[in-house]
Amino acid sequence: MLLFLRDIPADTTPEDVKNFIARAIDARWYLPLRETGHVREARVLHMQDPKSTRVRHHALAEVLPDRVGALAILKLNGGKLAGTLVEVRRWYRRSPDGERRRAGRPHALRPERRRRDRRRQIRIDQQRS
């Protein structure tokens, strides 16, 4: 399961994100027969809006298995990362054209109702762990 951490501090590294999530899924708090999880990968995203030149910092982390990821969301949402309140939610992958409702249909079968792309054009820089 991919977790999205919104509005993290600017100086956060992927290792900081991994440690933040690892505290919530620490195996010592589980019963012996419950499954434990781990953070497979973490990325820090620096998104810049070209119109306002404002840079926002977010993170993506992959937690396996999905049940442990869902538990991590419940524990971490509203928690503090380096003194900043962080919103944690599930990240949903979309099709390349951004349409989430008809992700399985080929382009020829999709009616194009938009005249232009509805998303803002932003620049994204990533740091991988």
If one compares 122 and 100, the residue with the highest pLDDT of the two is: 122
Q: Which domains does the chain have, with CATH numbers?
A: 2-93+123-128 (3.30.70.330)
Decide: 30 and 86 in contact? Cβ < 8 Å. Answer: no
User: pLDDT per residue over 22-40, tens digit each?
Assistant: 888 875 555 555 667 888 8
Q: What is the pLDDT of residue 93?
A: 76
Residue-wise pLDDT for 72-108, tens only, equals 898 888 888 888 889 999 988 776 665 555 555 555 5
- Looking at the DSSP assignment, which residues form a beta bridge with residue 6? 87
Bond prior to 65 in cis (omega within 30° of 0): yes
46 class by beta-carbon count within 10 Å (0-12 exposed, 13-18 middle, 19+ buried): middle
* Range from 81-85, 97-101, 115-119, 121-125 that averages highest in pLDDT: 81-85
Model confidence, pTM: 0.68
Q: How do 80-81 and 123-128 pair as beta strands?
A: unpaired
Q: Are 106 and 96 in contact (CB under 8 A)?
A: no
For residues 27 and 59, the model is more confident at 59
Whether the predicted pLDDT of 43 surpasses 60: yes
- At 45, phi and psi to the nearest 5? -110, 130
Residues with Cβ within 8 Å of 75's Cβ and at least 6 positions away in sequence, in order, are 24
Phi first, then psi: what are they for 67, rounded to 5°?
-65, -40
Q: Are 46 and 39 in contact (CB under 8 A)?
A: no
